């Protein structure tokens, strides 16, 4: 029998890590067939570190201040990705813009999740910015990463309605629930070879 080789995923995270857990859970349950090879984290206080330990996933802590330049910082990360033969980089609350060179090297193999309907409300506070703006509809976007922040070709989007009775907390809860559903779905599509980038568009084939 031919052994099926699993693809290797690295999750980059700087924060709580709830998306990490949703993905790790989907892999554990066999909904996604992949090897969660490592977490790359740039924040020693990040909740994702404990979560990764709970799932037995290796954490690489790379602190920007330990490197003279962004290039050296990213070179270290690239070394880990290559050593672990990473096929897909999943940004899950990694609050750092990757360089043009990094993105070019991995283009088509890095995805990101954003807690708003891109191109609206880019940046680090997508949920709050949408709430404060007073929009009636917001949502979640999963996209391929390019050199601009929250910008590359869109893979999946799902809407979330903001009701009159919502407050920021209830909206955050609704957004995270959708994130935890659609990020594993997008990863599965990628790993099964269903995503084809055509310029700005992603065809699901
Ligand atoms: C998520 O809501 C993700 O969409 C957001 O960071 C959060 C990380 O949460 N990313 C961005 O805002 C990217 N611009 P988590 O650490 O609990 O997964």
Kindly give the confidence (pLDDT) of every residue in the chain, 205 residues in length, as a single tens digit, with 9 standing for 90 and above. Answer: 555 689 999 999 999 999 999 999 999 999 999 999 999 999 999 999 999 999 999 999 999 999 999 999 999 999 999 999 999 999 999 999 999 999 999 999 999 999 999 999 999 999 999 999 999 999 999 999 999 999 999 999 999 999 999 999 999 999 999 999 999 999 999 999 999 999 999 999 9
- Domain shared by 65 and 37, yes or no: yes
Angle subtended at Cα 166 by Cα 160 and Cα 167, rounded to the nearest 5 degrees:
115
Specify the number of domains making up the chain. 2
* Segments forming the whole domain that contains residue 150: 112-205
Distance 115 CA to ligand 1 centre (A): 7
180 is catalytic: no
Entry pTM: 0.97
Number of Cβ atoms within 10 Å of the Cβ of 163: 10
Q: Residue 38 forms beta bridges with which residues?
A: 10, 58
Distance 183 CA to ligand 1 centre (A): 11
Domain end position, chosen among 106, 141, 159: 106
Atom of ligand 1 minimally distant from the CA of 149: 14
Minimal-distance CA residue to ligand 1 atom 10: 93
Angle subtended at Cα 97 by Cα 92 and Cα 103, rounded to the nearest 5 degrees:
90
**Residue whose C-alpha is closest to residue 108's, from 88, 132, 135, 78:** 88
- Domain shared by 121 and 35, yes or no: no
- Domain shared by 102 and 2, yes or no: yes
CA distances 102 to 9, 58, 77, 109, 135, Å, are 17, 22, 10, 11, 35
Domain end position, chosen among 106, 128, 150: 106
Domain end position, chosen among 82, 106, 130: 106
- Domain shared by 22 and 99, yes or no: yes
């Amino acid at each position: 029998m031919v052994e099926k080789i699993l693809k290797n995923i690295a999750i980059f995270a700087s924060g709580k890590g709830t998306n990490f857990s949703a993905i790790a859970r989907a892999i554990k349950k066999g909904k996604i067939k992949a090897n969660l090879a490592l977490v790359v984290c740039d924040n020693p206080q990040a909740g994702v570190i404990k979560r990764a330990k709970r799932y037995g996933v290796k954490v690489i802590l790379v602190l920007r201040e330990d490197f003279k330049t962004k290039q050296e910082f990213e070179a270290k990360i690239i070394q880990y990705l290559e050593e672990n033969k990473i096929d897909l980089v999943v940004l899950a609350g990694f609050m750092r813009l990757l360089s043009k060179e990094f993105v070019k090297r991995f283009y088509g193999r890095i995805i990101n999740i954003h807690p708003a309907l891109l191109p609206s409300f880019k940046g680090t506070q997508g949920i709050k910015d949408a709430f404060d703006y007073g929009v009636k509809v917001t949502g979640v976007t999963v996209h391929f990463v390019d050199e601009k922040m929250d910008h590359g070709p869109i893979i999946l989007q799902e809407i979330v309605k903001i009701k009159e009775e919502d407050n920021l907390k209830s909206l955050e809860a609704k957004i995270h629930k959708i994130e935890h559903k659609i990020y594993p779905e997008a990863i599965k599509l990628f790993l099964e070879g269903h995503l084809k980038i055509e310029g700005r568009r992603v065809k699901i084939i």
